[in-house]
A and B are shown apart, each in its own frame.
Chain A
Amino acid sequence: LDLRERPDQRRFRADLRAWLGEHVPRSPLPPLSTVDGVRAHVAWERRLTAAGYTGVHWPLEYGGQGKDAVTSAIFEEEYARAGAPERANVVGLRLVGPALMAYGTDPQRHRHLPAILGCDELWSQGFSEPEAGSDLAAVRTRASRDGDHLVVTGEKIWTTLGVHADWILALVRTGSGERRHDGLTLLLVDMRTEGVERRPIVQVNADAGFAQITFNEVRVPEDQVVGSVGQGWTVAMHVLTVERGAGTVSHAWLEQDLRATIALARERGRLEEPLVRRELALLRVQVQRYRFSNLRALCLTDHGIDPGPEASINKLLWSETRKRIYRLGAELRGEDGLLDAQGPEDSEWQRQYWYSRAATIYGGSSQIQKNIIAERLLGLPR
C-alpha cells in the first residue's frame, strides 16, 4: 500500500497541467448537440491528439500513449480541473477502440483505430431500443444474411451524438438461439449507408443530445462484424465493463461541482446555515469516498485484476453523488433558479443540473447496478 505518485506520474501531471493551462479555450465551446459545437469540439480533439494526449490508456501498438490506468486517471483529473471541453469521441475511445483491440480483425483495427484517435470518425453506441433498456438482451433490431452482407432493420434510441456521428456500434439480433443472449451480434455501421435515418430527441434540458436511429434494410458488409456472429453479448458485456469500470468518471469533476456549490453558498450568504454546512460536509465525504474507491479499482486494473462488481459500486457512488451536489445547488438558487437562465454560466448550470439527473439512468440504472452487486458480489439468488 503506497499511495505516492511515481516520479513519471508526477512528471506526466506537471507537463499536462502546463499544456492545458496554455491551450484550454478561454470561453466555453458551443454545445456538442449543435453543428458548430461538433466542429469546435473535433478541432479541440485534434489539438489533444497532436499534443499526444489522446488514447492515454491505449497500448502503444495501437497508437496510444501506453500509460497505466492510474496515469490515465491523472489525465482525467487534470483535464477536469482545467475546465477543458467535453470529450467528443468518448464512445470511440472508451467503447469501440477497446472492443476492436480485444475482438476486432486486423483490417478493422487498421481502419478505425487511427481514425478514432484522430477524431476523423465520431462514434455513437447503438444498444438501447424502445423495448430493450435495462433488459438489453431483448434487442429486436434484426440482421439477416444476404450473400456477404447483413441486412439490418430496426430501431435504436437514446443514442448520444446520434445526429452527428459518422459510425455506430450496433447490437443486433442474428439468430434465435436456445438462450436469447446467444443470438446477438455487434456490427460497425457507417451512418451514411442507405436506409439509416436519424431523428433528434430533445432532452429535458432542451438539448438535442440524443437521437432515434432507424435502420431500414441497411446493408452492412460481413467484415464489419465485431468478433463473430452470435458473439455480440460477450463483446457487449466486455464493452460495458469498460464503460462502467475504473477511471471513466474522474472524482475531479465532482470536486469541481462541489467547489462551485460552496462558492455559491458563500455568494448567497448561506454558508453559516447549519443545514447547508452539514450537507456540504456530507457531500465532501461522498466525493472523497468515490475518489478512494475509484483509485482502488484503477490499481486493481493495473495489476490485471478485473474490478468486477466493484465497477457497479463505483457507478452508484459517483452518479448518486453528482445528483446530490446539483440538488443542493438548486436549493441554494431557490426562487432565482425559476427564471430563465441569466447569462451563459447560469445556462450551463441549468443544463448540467438536468443532465445530472440522467446519471443514475444511463450506463446501467442504479437499480440494475444494485442487482449486479446483490447477485455477483453477495451471491443472492436471481
Chain B
Amino acid sequence: MDFMFTQEQEAIARVARRVLGDHCSPRDVRAAFEGELPGAGARWDAIAAAGIAGLCIPEVYGGQGLGPVEMVLVLEEAGRVCLPDPLLETAWLVPALLLEAGTDEQQRRWLPRIATGEVVASLRAPGSELVVAMDRCGLVLWTDDHGWSLAEVPSLPSVSRRSLDRGLGLGRITDRELDREPISGEVGDPTLIARIATGSAALLNGLSDWLMAVTTRHVRTREQFGRPIGSFQAVKHMLAEVATDLHAARVATWFAAEALSRVASEAHEAADIARWTAASAALLASDAALQLHGGIGFTWEHDLHLWMKRVSALVHLYGGHEQSLSRIESRVCDDLVDAAQKQEAR
C-alpha cells in the first residue's frame, strides 16, 4: 500500500503548474469572465502542446495514455489558476466516453483532434441541463431518452452571458439544434458520475488552495490594532479549520482517483465522498477568504470573486454536491441495512 505519488506523477503536476501558470494569469481569467475569447485559442494550444489535452487519450491517438491519478493532479492545477477552459470535459470525460462506447470510426475521428487541441469537447451529463464552453466547443455529447449521442458543433448561439461564472461559457442545448449521431456502446453512468465527482473535487481543491494562499498572505501582512490580523486566534482557527477540511478533501480525491484507476468496488462511494468534502472545503475557504479580506474582497476590482464564483459553479454543476451526499445517504441507510437484514435472516 503506497499513498505517495511516483516521480513521473509529480513531474506531470509540475509541468501542468508551470504551463497553466504561464498561460492563465488572473488577468486572463478576468478577460474570460468579461466574455473576451481572443486569448483562449493560444492558451488551449499551449495546454495541448504540453500533452495535457490528450492526457487520458491512448498513445495510438496521439495522447499520453495516462489515467485518473495523473488527471486529478493536473485538474487541481487547473483549479488553482481558475482555468476557464473545459479541461475536465475535454481531457477526461469525453475521451473516456468515446473509448468506452464510441465506434472505432468515432474514436479515430475525434480523439486525435482532441489530443492536438484542435477540438474542445463538452457534454451534457445525466441529471444536468447545462453545458460548459458552449461558446467554443466543437464536439458535444449528451444523453436523453434515446441514449447517448454526439454532435459536431459548428457554432452554438445560445450561450448565456448572464451566468454566475461567465468565464465557463455555460448554456443549454436543445436536441433540435444538433445533428444527432448515436453512440451505440454501453455507457456506465455510475462510472461517468464518479469521474465527474472526482474531477470536480480536484478542480475545487485547486480553487480552495489558491483562496487559502491568497488569504494567508493577506492576514500575515494586514495590520490592525498594531499587529498582523493573522496573529489573532479567531483568525488562526478559522484558517486552520479550512486547512483541515482542504487536506482531507485532497486526500479523499487522490483516494477516489486511485480507486477509479483500478475499477475498485469502492470507487463510486469514494468519488462521492471526494466531491462532498471538496465542495464543503471550498465553500468554507470561500467564506473565510471573503470574511478575512474584509471590504476590499467584496469589490468587483479584486480577483477574489472570480475564484468564489467558480467555486459556486463547480459546487452545483452536474447535479451538484447534494446528489453526491444523497447517494452516500442511501448507501449508508439503505444498502448497508439491507445487507445486515439479509445476514440476520440467514
Chain A interface (Cβ < 8 Å from any Cβ of B): 1-6, 9, 70, 262-263, 265-266, 271, 277-278, 280-282, 284-285, 288-290, 292-293, 295-296, 298-300, 303, 310, 313, 316-317, 367, 369-371, 373-375, 377-382
Contacts and interface: CB of A to CB of B under 8 A. Distances in A.
Interface stretch (B26-34, B56-64, B163-171, B255-263): B255-263
Given A281-B332, A288-B252, A377-B243, A266 B4 contact: no
Contacts of A296: 3, 251, 254
B228 A381 contact: yes
A2 B236 contact: no
Contacts of B262: 4
B4 A303 contact: yes
Interface stretch (B94-102, B136-144, B307-315, B333-341): B333-341
Given A374-B237, A380-B230, A266 B3 contact: no
A2 B258 contact: yes
A280 B329 contact: yes
Is chain A's binding surface mostly helix, strand, loop or mixed? Answer: helix
Given A296-B3, A310-B247, A378-B240, A1 B259 contact: no
A282 B280 CA distance: 11
Contacts of A377: 240, 243
A255 B230 CA distance: 37
B244 A316 contact: yes
Contact of B244 (A6, A70, A373): A373
Contact of B258 (A3, A289, A370, A380): A3
Q: Which of A4, A266, A313, A367 has the most CB of B within 10 A?
A: A313
Contacts of A280: 329, 332-333
A70 B1 contact: yes
B233 interface: yes
Residue among A3, A262, A271, A313 with max Cβ neighbours from chain B (10 Å) = A3
Given A1-B258, A296-B3, A374-B237, A281 B328 contact: yes
B9 interface: yes
Given A2-B2, A317-B248, A370-B237, A381 B243 contact: no
- Which secondary structure characterizes the binding site on chain B? helix
A97 to B, nearest CB: 24
B230 A284 contact: no
A292 B252 contact: yes
Given A2-B258, A70-B1, A282-B325, A381 B231 contact: yes
Nearest to A377: B243
B251 A293 contact: yes
B132 to A, nearest CB: 27
A288 B275 CA distance: 13
Given A296-B3, A380-B239, A278 B219 contact: no
26 contacts: A1-B3, A1-B6, A1-B69, A1-B257, A3-B255, A6-B1, A262-B337, A265-B333, A281-B332, A281-B333, A285-B273, A285-B277, A288-B270, A296-B3, A296-B251, A296-B254, A299-B2, A317-B248, A371-B233, A371-B240, A374-B239, A377-B243, A378-B239, A378-B240, A379-B216, A380-B216
Given A282-B325, A288-B269, A367-B233, 19 more contacts: A2-B1, A2-B2, A3-B3, A277-B332, A278-B325, A280-B333, A281-B329, A284-B332, A288-B252, A289-B251, A293-B247, A298-B3, A310-B247, A313-B248, A367-B237, A374-B236, A380-B235, A380-B239, A381-B227
B45 interface: no
Contacts of A266: 337, 340
Of A70, A316, A378, A381, the most chain B CB neighbours within 10 A belong to: A378
A378 B244 CA distance: 11
B108 interface: no
Interface residue tally of chain B, by bracket? 35 or more
B1 A299 contact: yes
Contacts of B237: 367, 370-371, 374
Contacts of A381: 220, 227-228, 230-231
Contact of A288 (B227, B228, B231, B273): B273
A370 B233 CA distance: 9
B110 interface: no
B1 A9 contact: yes
A317 B336 contact: no
B287 interface: no
B276 interface: yes
Which of B5, B6, B276 lies at the interface centre, i.e. has the most chain A CB atoms within 10 A of its CB?
A: B276
Contacts of B189: none
A288 B273 CA distance: 8
Nearest to B246: A313
B241 interface: yes
B243 A313 contact: yes
Contacts of B252: 288-289, 292-293
Given A5-B1, A285-B273, A296-B3, A263 B340 contact: yes
A94 B126 CA distance: 50
A295 B256 CA distance: 13
Nearest to A271: B333
Rank and list the top 6 A-B pairs by shortest CB-CB distance, nearest first.
A374-B236, A281-B329, A370-B240, A299-B3, A373-B240, A380-B230
B266 to A, nearest CB: 9
Given A262-B332, A375-B236, A379-B220, A295 B3 contact: yes
B259 A373 contact: no
B259 A285 contact: no
Nearest to B3: A299
Contacts of B3: 1, 3, 295-296, 298-300
Contacts of B258: 1-3
Contacts of A271: 333, 337
